[in-house]
Structure 1
Amino acid sequence: MHLRTTLAGLALAIGSIHAQAETIRIAIGTQDTTINCATGGLLIRELGLLDKYLPKDGKYKDAQYKVEWKNFTSGAPLTNEMVAGKLDFGAMADFPGSFNGVAFRDAGKQSLFITVLSGSTRGSGNGIVVPASSPVQSLEQLKGKTISVPFASTAHGMLLRAIAAQGWDPEKDVRIIAQAPEIAGSALRSNRIEAHADFVPFAELFPNRGFARKIYDGSQANAPTFHGALVDAAYAKKYPEIVTAYLRASIEADRLFAAEPEKYSELIEKVAGIEAEVNYLFHGPLGLQTRDHTWKPEYRQAVATSIDTLKLLKKTDRGLDVDQFIDDQYIRAAFQQSGQDYDQALANYAQLPLQANDAASGQPITDFKRLAQIWVRGEDKVRHYASPEAALSALAQLEEEGKDIRAIYAQAADSGIKLLANQAWFVRNDKGELSAFLLKEQAEAYAQRNGGTALDFVSANQTLVASR
């Protein structure tokens, strides 16, 4: 009897301990179709990376974790749910992220920008497109036209800066209307809109789908842009180890993506419906943007500029202390625990490097300024070529073999950004060498300065075939 009583008491005591064990919610808002957020959301979720790093000792020894994921198509509704206490973390761009900080403050709370996920210190990623049949070739030709943009987005901020750089009055010289990406895609297809400004990945996605042309890249405004992750400050104060665990999972997602960009570009397509070739354009080696967890001065400035733009748009009448809003202690801790040097990464501005041999000659590629690439459908790896003319020669052979080409890429000769080659302009010099450019006017200016002929992709291809 005494033994039974003792065992029953022990069982009750154990049950009481478990009953008192805390259940900790980890509610993460992500944007799956905004592929810059992939290493802060989609990949962590799909690969089950978060559980690897969640603390399981000390004050967390008996904790039970309840991980919740919610997907959004833009930052504004994600912010609403964070402010309402329904989400603990959120991934979004600099502009909506700054609005997140303002919205928290206005609600008597605080959020923290804890890491960059991916971006461009020069501004690549945001862009302006026109219908494929439009005669417009540059931003200058949009004066007096209607331009749609997702309001309160990072693309909105880019558009306003681009208009200001032209010396235009945004109230008089252009008509800016609000339009979400999914609506803009339909409008561009049917020529119901003259131009559309958008964030990652739509300025490349729409041209890749064949119904739009990119006529402006954010790098032309030299306006740094990024996507990053935020956390409710009260949550971070209570559970700092969980914040660090989330960031360690993000660092691993980044490492995996860097090692096998084609594989994870395919995974993003499978989950989010954004074509793998567009994902690779951004996040493959020498990509349009750089995955980067560090708070470079340019990204801090992007937040400050976004806050100023919010004032301009009368979305807030007060500033936000950027030095308090951006908190790098958690990402520094995550780097240290991952065995990486944060300060070394902070000083690194290089694009994701490429080590490759020319698919035609087999020789190592040592100069990447004229790199061109072909992704053949059904092949696990992108083919690399030392020059656009080498790639176009290979393309002709591949097409003769009946191969389905997913994408052709080229590096812009002036900016170094990766381009969809079939949308690019080229200059052919007297040696038959091709140099790629985003815009017709850039190619023509280069040809005038250096000699050569400006050609669109079809003409460049035909000229090369004729010279063989």
Structure 2
Amino acid sequence: MPLALLLPLTTACGGTDAGGSTDGRTVTVTVGYQSKTINTVTAGTLLRSLGYFEEELADRGREDGLTYRVVWQDYATGAPITAQMAAGKIDIGSMGDFPLLINAARGKQLKEPTRLVAVTGYNLRGGLNTVVTAPGSSLGSLADLKGRKVSTSVGSAADGTLVRALRRAGIDPAKDIRKLNQQPSVGASALSSGSVDALSQFVAWPGLLAFQGKATALYDGADLNLPTFHGVTVREEFAQRRPAVLDAFLRAQHRATDHLRKQPVAAAESVAKETGLPAEVVYLYNGAQGIATFDPALRPELIAALKEDVPVLKEAGLVTDVDVDAFVDPAPLRRAVPDLSYPKASGPKSELWLKGQSTIRTFDSPAALLKAVRGASVRAAYVPDAVTGTLWFADRAVWVGDGAAWHAFVTRSGAERYVSGHAGARIVAYADAVRLAS
């Protein structure tokens, strides 16, 4: 039996015989993914590059005598994946929590129901979404967004973060700002050109723009303290007709997750090569201490958060209602990976990636990182926010000196809140913090 074929199809195209048999002996499986949304790599970019799904299907083929053909389709957001799934042209897809709910609603509406069967990556506080402004912007907090133009992708997790954050700040997201519904790349360009005042986006756009020096963080999504995640959805008809194929996918995803955990630098380099994203940005989210935690398990905290997302989408008119309990189906993952367990949570640590090295050093304190950076040939340095734990680039963070201690913050407003509550604490430029740390 020949190995299953990997067809590098990266454009949104229809006509694929999804989940079907082209000649009676060849089964085509179509997977929709988002290469630039690196929180989904274990079900997309990394999984594809490792070839684990094809390996699992080849093993299956030796048992049942069929040949399996995998078609990978790459999209910028979850919306077109949902459209293709509703048309029966994509079998398995990965997307964020808000798009997953729209996926469930559209599938039911169009009589092509889908099921959430696994998670890719998550952050229990919501740190995967960030609101950023242009460097040098006069905007210092969400309150300053009143009357301003803000780019986001309506219906995305980043839009959900923006809506919730604005409401907590006493701002009506429907009346007090001018929201532009744009693709992430379009919004990034708009921010750079000055045609919008702020951008609310999901992984990895905020980190990418900050790394490039094109953006400054205004709001850390982790301040909401509400989980956000990406997950895997499957057409119900396909799952029922090809349960062994779905099992193969989930086993392959589990293997890709293990690979990412054990070889985070190699995984980041691989994803960078496939996507064109800087490896330093990929590692910010997907590294050993990264903003995202990777685990396929359908954790109860995540499902509870998904239920809290429904009213936000209903108010926006994007769904009428979603039965989350009916949408979530843990049975396939239990069947495919019966010994699955949650990863142990650990406090975030600072990390240092030196040029020319493939290993990354970790530090128990920001002060230790600052001392290690001094005089070193740094490729990237990462530090967790002192309150939210969100990892950020050390040279883009806002530093606070408090006696002999050093603290870093993703946003200036976060640093200012700390300083206001700690006598003697002061905001210090990164270069000065490196020089003064002892």
When normalised by structure 2's length, the TM-score is 0.90
SS in 2 for 1:54: helix
| Compared CA separation, residues 75 and 218, structure 1 to 2 (3 A) | same
CA-to-aligned-CA distance 1:248-306 (integer Å, 9 cap, x gap): 10011011111111111011111101211111111212221211211122211232233
Closer, same or farther: CA 55–298 of 1 in aligned 2, 3 Å = same
Is the counterpart of residue 394 in structure 1 residue 364 in structure 2? no
Alignment check: 8 A CA contact 1:74 1:92 kept: yes
The counterpart of 1:373, out of the listed 332, 351, 366, is: 351
Give the direction of change, closer, same or farther, for the CA distance of 1:43–1:463 in structure 2 (3 Å limit): closer
Partner SS for 1:422 = coil
Structure 2 residue matching 1:39: 3-state secondary structure: helix
Q: Give the equivalent residue in structure 2 for 1:247.
A: 250
Q: Does 1:454 align with 2:426?
A: yes
| Cα distance in structure 1, aligned partners of 2:84 and 2:112 | 13
Q: Runs of 4 or more off by more than 6 Å in structure 1?
A: none
CA contact (8 A) 1:156 1:198 kept: yes
Secondary structure of the residue aligned to 1:170 is: coil
- Closer, same or farther in 2 for the Cα pair 1:68/1:464, shift >3 Å? closer
Q: How many residues align structurally?
A: 417
Structure 1 stretches lacking a partner, 5+ long? 1-18, 352-367
Q: What's the offset of the Cα at 1:57?
A: 6.0
Q: Give distance in 2, aligned partners of 1:60 and 1:259.
A: 30
Q: 2:435 — aligned with what?
A: 465
- Aligned mates of 1:437, 1:307 — CA distance in 2: 31
CA drift at 1:415: 1.7
3-state SS, counterpart of residue 374 of structure 2: helix
Q: CA deviation at 1:172?
A: 1.8
d(CA) in 2 for partners of 1:113, 1:154: 16
Structure 2 contact 143–171 (Cα < 8 Å) conserved: no
- The 1:457/1:105 distance shift into structure 2, 3 A limit, reads same
Instruction: Tell me the SS of whatever aligns to 1:116.
Output: strand
8 Å Cα contact 1:243/1:330 also seen in 2 = yes
Distance 1:170 1:21, change over 3 A: closer
In structure 2, relative to structure 1, the CA distance for the partners of 1:85 and 1:185 (3 Å cut) is same
Distance 2:72 2:175 in 1: 43
Query: Contact 2:398/2:411 (CA < 8 Å) preserved in 1?
Result: yes
Partner of 1:361: none
Matches of 1:211 and 1:186 in 2, distance apart? Answer: 10
Q: Which moved more, 1:280-289 or 1:113-122?
A: 280-289
> Higher Cα Rg: structure 1 or 2?
1
1:210-249 CA distance string (max 9 Å, x none)? 0101111211122321111111000000111111110110
Instruction: Give the equivalent residue in structure 2 for 1:41.
Output: 44
Amino acid at match of 1:396: R
- Does 2:181 correspond to 1:178? yes
Normalization by structure 1: what TM-score? 0.84
Q: Kindly indicate whether residue 174 of structure 2 is the aligned counterpart of residue 160 of structure 1.
A: no
2:137 is equivalent to residue 134 of structure 1: yes
Equivalent residue letter for 1:225: T
Work out the percentage of aligned pairs sharing the same amino acid: 32
- Equivalent in 307, 310, 315 of residue 307 of structure 1: 310
**Counterpart contact for 2:370–2:433, Cα < 8 Å:** no
Shift of 1:59: 11
Please tell me the residue identity of whatever aligns with 1:192: S
CA–CA distance in 2 between the matches of 1:37 and 1:53? Answer: 19
Task: Give the residue type in structure 1 aligned to 2:421.
Answer: R
Taking the aligned partners of 1:210 and 1:254, their CA distance within structure 2 comes to 31
Higher helix share: 1
Q: CA RMSD in A?
A: 2.1
Runs (5+) with no aligned partner, structure 2: 1-21
The alpha-carbon deviation at position 20 of structure 1 amounts to 8.0
C-alpha spacing 1:130/1:104, structure 2 compared with 1 (3 Å): same
Aligned equivalent of 1:335, options 317, 334, 337: 337
Distance 1:441 1:217 in 2: 10
The partner residue of 1:436 within 404, 408, 413 is 408
Q: Which amino acid aligns with 1:167?
A: G
